[in-house]
Amino acid sequence: MTELQAEQGAPALDVPRTEAKPRRNRDALIALAVFVVLALLPMVFSSKLLLDFVIRCAAYGLFATSLNLLVGYTGLTSFGHGMFFGLGAYGFGLMMQKTGVPIPVAFVATLAITFVVALVIGAICVRLKEIYFAFVTLAFQMLIHSTILSWVSLTGGDQGLRGGIPRPPFWGIDLSNHLHLYVMSCALLVIGLFLMHQIAQSPFGYTLRMIRDNATRASFIGIDVWRAKLTIFVLAALFASTGGVIMALFVSGAYPEFAYWTISGEGIFINMLGGVTTFLGPMVGTVLLLILNDTVTRLTEYHGIVLGIVILFFAIGLRKGLMDFVVEWYARRRAGSGERS
């Protein structure tokens, strides 16, 4: 066996293969198709529960997928990503309650606020590595949570933003109509996923993977690691914030729990459940967790035990997320049949 063959026999690195050419058009078509299917869903199933479920999936899915850009692609384990979810919900809710600007303006303004906050916090956080990065993001999250709790005159403290968020119609869209809200959430979800996938597949996305695998080498070949980490930190914050906006629209309010660290914990959990090496892993995880939460809380009052055992199954049994497991199993099966033929 030559050296080359020996190298080919070595186990493949945990890095998705580079695509030969950009697949932007194909992705856009898939995204459009998914959106059409989701938008037509209410015609087939008119159940309000199902629509609510999809809206919640959109909010948490955007949040979890954006977290995976940090955790899975860049190796930045943020424990405070939920702060941007909360920021989106509070920013948008406050804007609508206090200023009465049209919804698109409030949405863009919320993203602008998130951008500035994420830039400042990110500039501080991404200097730190591993567990210290996790802790400093957690600290910032709790700082924002404490601020929300103590700034009662603005945020309503532990009662949250109550009294409903006004939803004046715009461009013929009336978000107080449940169906409109549903279609809008689906659109935001699909657009968000499409954009994040483009980021992940871009040269910048591969830079992030390189930083995850070997930051020293990345900086040796001239990559500004700090700047790349900060960029993805801010981008991920924008998508998480969008998830928060959807949530605020859905519950017509914002609550301190949206900015509590448990949201970040759930985000990490969703990622682990679904798997971090595939782009859609977090979406699968979101659906799994929401179904799990809904059914388990209905069946037993001790849902912590059931949820805990399920988590143990993934952590100790599979040792990886569901999508990772499936992808690996499929690859092994294909490799196995390839050897036989």
Partner 1 sequence: MDLDALTGCLASSACLVTQTTSGFIIGMLLFLVAVGLTLIFGVLKVVNFSHGAFYMFGAYFAMTAYQLTGSFALAMLCGAAGTALLGLIFERVFMSRVYGSDVLMQLLVCYAFVLIFDDVVRMIWGPEFKSMGMPAAFQVAPLFIAGGVVPPYYLLLIGVALAAAVILGLGLARTRLGKVIRAAAHNPGMVSALGINTGLIYGGVFALGGMLAGLAGALAAPVRSLTPGMGFSVLIESFIVTVIGGMGSILGALIGALLIGMIRSFGSLGFPLFTEGLMYLFMVIVLVSRPTGLFGKEVA
CA dihedral 270, 67, 63, 148 (to 10 degrees): 110
> H helices within the chain, ranges in order?
3-9, 24-44, 48-68, 82-98, 103-125, 130-150, 152-155, 178-201, 203-213, 215-220, 225-251, 261-274, 281-299, 303-312, 322-340
Only one of the segments 51-59, 92-100, 223-231, 271-279 lies at the binding site for partner 1 (rule: CB under 8 A); that segment is: 271-279
- 316 is a contact residue toward partner 1 (CB under 8 A): yes
DSSP labels, 65-120: HHHHIIIIII----S-THHHHHHHHHHHHHHHHHT---HHHHHHHHHHHHHHHHHH
**For residues 284-322, b (16+ Cβ closer than 10 Å) or e, as one string?**
bbbbbbbebeeebeeeeeeeeeebeebeeebeeeeebbb
Q: How many CB atoms lie within 10 A of CB 226?
A: 15
- Taking the least distance from each CB to partner 1, the nearer of 45 and 302 is 302
What's the CA gap between 57 and 113, in Å, rounded? 24
**For residues 55-79, b (16+ Cβ closer than 10 Å) or e, as one string?**
bbbbbbbbbbbbbbbbbbbbbbbbb
The torsion angles phi and psi of 237, rounded to 5 degrees, stand at: -60, -40
The three-class DSSP label of residue 161 is strand
Pick one of 116, 124, 291, 299: the residue that binds partner 1 (CB under 8 A).
124
Only one of the segments 3-11, 184-192, 230-238, 305-313 lies at the binding site for partner 1 (rule: CB under 8 A); that segment is: 305-313
Pick one of 15, 154, 291, 312: the residue that binds partner 1 (CB under 8 A).
312
Pick one of 47, 147, 159, 202: the residue that binds partner 1 (CB under 8 A).
147
Amino acid of residue 251: V
Q: Are 204 and 229 in contact (CB under 8 A)?
A: no
- 26 is a contact residue toward partner 1 (CB under 8 A): no
- 219 is a contact residue toward partner 1 (CB under 8 A): no
- Taking the least distance from each CB to partner 1, the nearer of 201 and 264 is 264
Pick one of 105, 131, 154, 335: the residue that binds partner 1 (CB under 8 A).
131
- 142 is a contact residue toward partner 1 (CB under 8 A): yes
- Taking the least distance from each CB to partner 1, the nearer of 69 and 186 is 69
Diameter of the chain by CA atoms?
74
Structure tokens at 109: 């303004």
- 154 is a contact residue toward partner 1 (CB under 8 A): no
- 150 is a contact residue toward partner 1 (CB under 8 A): yes
Pick one of 53, 135, 204, 325: the residue that binds partner 1 (CB under 8 A).
135
Pick one of 319, 337, 339, 340: the residue that binds partner 1 (CB under 8 A).
319
- Taking the least distance from each CB to partner 1, the nearer of 43 and 316 is 316
- 128 is a contact residue toward partner 1 (CB under 8 A): yes
- Taking the least distance from each CB to partner 1, the nearer of 63 and 250 is 63
- 329 is a contact residue toward partner 1 (CB under 8 A): no
- 269 is a contact residue toward partner 1 (CB under 8 A): yes
- 104 is a contact residue toward partner 1 (CB under 8 A): no
Pick one of 290, 292, 311, 327: the residue that binds partner 1 (CB under 8 A).
311
- 268 is a contact residue toward partner 1 (CB under 8 A): yes
- 90 is a contact residue toward partner 1 (CB under 8 A): no
Residues that bind partner 1 (CB under 8 A): 71, 77, 124, 127-132, 135-136, 138-140, 142-143, 146-147, 149-150, 152, 157, 261, 265, 268-269, 271-272, 276, 302-305, 307-309, 311-312, 314-316, 319
